[in-house]
Amino acid sequence: MKFPHDFLFGAASASYQVEGAWNEDGKGISNWDVFSKIPGKTYKNTNGDISVDHYHRYKEDIKLMSEIGLESYRFSISWPRIIPDGDGQVNEKGLDFYNNLIDECLKYGIVPFVTLYHWDLPQTLEECGGWTNKRTVDAFVKYANVCFNAFGDRVKHWITFNETIVFTSLGYLAGAHPPGIKNDIKKYFQATHNVFTAHARAVKDYKALRQFGEIGITHVFSPAFSADEKEENKLAAYHANQYSLAWYYDPVLKGEYPDYVVKQLEEKGWTPDWTEEELSIIKTSAASNDFIGLNYYQPQRVIKNNNSDEVIERTRENSTGAPGNASFDGVYRTVKMEDKVYTKWGWEISPEAFFEGLKMLKAHYGDIKIYITENGLGDEDPIIEGEIVDVPRIKYIETHLKAVKNAIAEGINIKGYYAWSAIDLLSWLNGYKKQYGFIYVDHNNNLNRKIKLSGYWYKKIIKERGENL
Ligand code: BGP
């Protein structure tokens, strides 16, 4: 079987992780510009001031992407580049940059797939309470409209938010992302609700513009499985799926929050401050949401947490995805398992769980349209005689693409696959050490670029439309 002719083979990036030029051409300061400069917050205090300088080298980068044969490039727009103070004047030079980037993609027939929010919030909004303040919701809707109007003639695929669970939980529970707040459960849920409201309003506005493109949201896809057959662990996995999956997917796909969570939030006093109007906009916009983007790296293996009084001290190291933590409410715990395989950073590698999770999603939400908006291997790539021989990455992407192919054969409506990442870039908390790209960037030599073995391998897969996978 070949992948369907309208299936997009792509790769992804995010503004803060690639662009650099943090204070050029009128760009405002973002929360990450500030947060990454607090000593000890990131690996070796790395930050995105220069990153891989995509802002200045985008032409070279898009050309390399076209050499790989990418059909689509998923990138994000930096909000503070467009509206430096969050909700004030538009910065024309910011618009110019993305107009040029989009045009450069189109010149090579690469479909631009645009994320509006991949975590770099204008600092002025962060200082007013960030996503816990409804002013940020209004500001986002305004910013989204500016982007639809400026780029919507050429951009027909929009993602409102990237991974709400990550920026809200690391921002308000683990304190590992901006604004660096720890264990404030009430704020965490408020932030999530405000994001869903912002998403719903942006979807409505986009549809009203009649630009005839599609719009959706990207979520972490980390389905929870019980570590064994014990009833208490199965219940713990159910709980994990309610809080980390249903809470995020239901409002977007069904237009309402899951009862199981809503009831518990009421009991515990964690219910967000929400209005009838917001709930109704979430309800009515769900039907207009075109797709769901899934970022899949690993599943969660779950057991019941038996020492729920334990204080969970989250550090940078244990908050970036490796199993071993208790949930914020103390109900369950993710575990590392003897019989599973893990990356150097402790993330499980499981194309099987990916496939199982996709079937679970279909069983629960029916025939939704899906893009895999991120999937990839963080590794330290060997260089042999000048070539970047990232064989483990090829293996990783190959097995996960096979899972996608099998899922399509099962009738799951997957319309594209974006490897993370198009090019080596700044990992939020792991610096440049953890590489993901098809294109290598030499930090010791002028940020020179070179296509890796995985890039050439992907080129072949795209050319054959995955027939030999
Ligand atoms: C996702 C983010 C990406 C990227 C990726 C890899 O959560 O959407 O921006 O960072 O994870 O994460 P890391 O760099 O921590 O390995």
If DSSP codes are grouped into helix, strand and coil, which group holds residue 26?
coil
Beta strand 291-295 with 370-374 is: parallel
Strand spans (E) along 414-458? 414-420, 439-442, 448-451
Peptide bond into 421 cis (omega under 30): yes
- From 116, 427, 435, give the residue whose CB has the most ligand 1 atoms within 8 Å, as the site to mutate: 427
- From 162, 420, 434, give the residue whose CB has the most ligand 1 atoms within 8 Å, as the site to mutate: 420
Give the position, in ligand 1's atom list, of the atom nearest the Cα of 218.
8
pLDDT at residue 324 in the model: 86
Cα distance between residue 61 and residue 50, in whole Å = 15
* Assigned token pair, 249: 């997917």
Beta strand 214-220 with 224-226 is: unpaired
pLDDT at residue 318 in the model: 55
Candidates 186, 322, 166; CA nearest to 248 is: 166
pLDDT at residue 322 in the model: 85
Spell out the per-residue pLDDT of the chain, length 469, in tens.
Answer: 999 999 999 999 999 999 999 999 999 999 999 999 999 999 999 999 999 999 999 999 999 999 999 999 999 999 999 999 999 999 999 999 999 999 999 999 999 999 999 999 999 999 999 999 999 999 999 999 999 999 999 999 999 999 999 999 999 999 999 999 999 999 999 999 999 999 999 999 999 999 999 999 999 999 999 999 999 999 999 999 999 999 999 999 999 999 999 999 999 999 999 999 999 999 999 999 999 999 999 999 999 998 765 655 555 555 567 888 889 999 999 999 999 999 999 999 999 999 999 999 999 999 999 999 999 999 999 999 999 999 999 999 999 999 999 999 999 999 999 999 999 999 999 999 999 999 999 999 999 999 999 999 999 999 999 999 9
Tell me whether residue 395 is exposed, middle or buried, using C-beta atoms within 10 angstroms of its C-beta: 0 to 12, 13 to 18, 19 or more.
middle
Minimum CA distance residue for ligand 1 atom 14: 427
Cβ neighbours around 232 below 10 Å, total: 12
Give the position, in ligand 1's atom list, of the atom nearest the Cα of 297.
11
Give the position, in ligand 1's atom list, of the atom nearest the Cα of 162.
8
pLDDT at residue 321 in the model: 78
Candidates 30, 59, 61; CA nearest to 47 is: 30
* Assigned token pair, 384: 């042999």
| Domains in the chain, CATH or no CATH each | 8-222+249-296+342-463 (3.20.20.80)
If DSSP codes are grouped into helix, strand and coil, which group holds residue 192?
helix
**Distance of CA 240 from the midpoint of ligand 1 (Å):** 21
Phi and psi based region of residue 11 (left: phi greater than 0; alpha: psi -120 to 50; beta: remaining)? beta
Name the residue type at position 164: T
Beta strand 214-220 with 157-162 is: parallel
The residues annotated as belonging to the active site are 163, 374
Peptide bond into 13 cis (omega under 30): no
- Longest CA–CA span in the chain (Å) reads 63
